[in-house]
């Protein structure tokens, strides 16, 4: 959520669902793939390319945004925990205000996670199961920004794909995309896993550095075909 770390990566929290073993997912389960990468890595672009290859996408950031949009299911609990002033004029979560509240304050961040993570987990699992029922055998990609920081996502998926690039590239991309100053981007990067940590949980790595979209797509397709080839 634009640098606000409220995705479903840092569980478990009370109330989170039990994630199924592969044989419980669908009649003919496909792969469950965890996709991750640092801010500005191009992870969202890779997610779209995986969908083009046939995957169903479960976007934990999108789920978090829906939960905190006007009328979102998480807003009453967030307002009780942090005060009504964390809501904007439109009734949605004021992300800038919440980001300022939790930045550097571990206890506040944990309160936020304890509210959002179980909700995100339940919806992510529901979406994955629904995709399996609609299209048995279809692979599901879970877009999880903080997968490497989690002690649990690695066990929930069959494969992990990491989108990687150099830190200066991350900073430049986010500055161009969001208009943030470099020091703000650097603070977000410092809160995320290092490149080495993300690489350490990967089954495959896409290096998104100085590539055209077609060159990036070629890397993505190569991973997809390798993971879905018979035998």
Q: In this structure, what are the phi and psi dihedrals at residue 179, rounded to the nearest 5 degrees?
A: 75, 20
CA–CA dist 115, 100 (Å, integer) = 18
Task: List per-residue pLDDT tens for the chain, 231 residues long.
Answer: 444 544 443 344 445 555 666 655 655 568 999 999 999 999 999 999 999 999 999 999 999 999 999 999 999 999 999 999 999 999 999 988 998 888 778 899 889 988 998 899 899 999 999 998 888 889 999 999 889 987 778 888 999 999 999 999 999 999 999 899 999 899 889 888 999 999 999 999 999 999 999 999 999 999 999 999 876
> Residue 9 in contact with residue 150, Cβ under 8 Å?
yes
Q: pTM value?
A: 0.85
CA–CA dist 108, 101 (Å, integer) = 7
Exposed / middle / buried, residue 8 (Cβ in 10 Å: 0-12, 13-18, 19+): buried
> Residue 106 in contact with residue 2, Cβ under 8 Å?
no
- Pairing verdict, β 32-37 and 140-143: parallel
């Amino acid at each position: 959520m634009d640098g606000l770390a409220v995705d479903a990566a840092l569980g478990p929290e009370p109330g989170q669902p039990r994630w199924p073993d592969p044989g419980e997912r669908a009649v003919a389960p496909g792969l469950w793939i965890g996709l991750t990468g640092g801010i500005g890595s191009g992870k969202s672009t890779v997610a779209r390319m995986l969908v083009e290859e046939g995957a169903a996408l479960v976007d934990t950031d999108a789920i978090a945004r829906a939960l905190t949009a006007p009328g979102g299911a998480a807003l009453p609990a967030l307002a009780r925990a942090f005060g009504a002033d964390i809501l904007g004029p439109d009734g949605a979560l004021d992300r800038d205000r919440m980001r300022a509240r939790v930045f550097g304050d571990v206890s506040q961040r944990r309160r936020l996670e304890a509210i959002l993570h179980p909700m995100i987990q339940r919806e992510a699992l529901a979406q994955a199961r629904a995709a399996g029922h609609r299209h048995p055998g279809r692979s599901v990609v879970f877009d999880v920004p903080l997968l490497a920081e989690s002690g649990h996502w690695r066990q929930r998926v069959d494969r992990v794909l990491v989108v990687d690039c150099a830190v200066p590239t991350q900073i430049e991309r986010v500055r161009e995309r969001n208009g943030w100053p470099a020091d703000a981007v650097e603070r977000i990067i410092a809160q995320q896993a290092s490149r080495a940590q993300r690489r350490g949980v990967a089954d495959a790595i896409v290096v998104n550095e100085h590539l055209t979209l077609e060159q990036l797509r070629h890397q993505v397709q190569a991973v997809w075909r390798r993971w879905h080839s018979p035998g």
